[in-house]
Amino acid sequence: MTESVRFSDSITIRVQPEITALVDRAARAKGSKPSEWTRQALLEGLAAGLDPATTRAHETAPLYDSQRGSS
């Protein structure tokens, strides 16, 4: 059996209730939790233009910092 993985960072997004329901439905269809489905969808989206495995934290920090005040 595979051990559970604990993640130390989190991202909070705000979406319409309809999107939350769609994520729940998509996760159920894949047999996973909504958080895991969302994590995989995010990784797939990033893979289209950014390889998270080769990106260093200091390269993405300015992106995060510029968004911090606009949420």
Q: pTM of the entire structure?
A: 0.58
Is residue 24 within 8 Å of 30, Cβ to Cβ?
no
Q: In angstroms, what CA-CA distances link 2 with 5, 26, 53?
A: 9, 23, 22
Per-residue model confidence as pLDDT tens digits over 19-54: 999 999 999 999 999 999 999 998 888 887 766 666
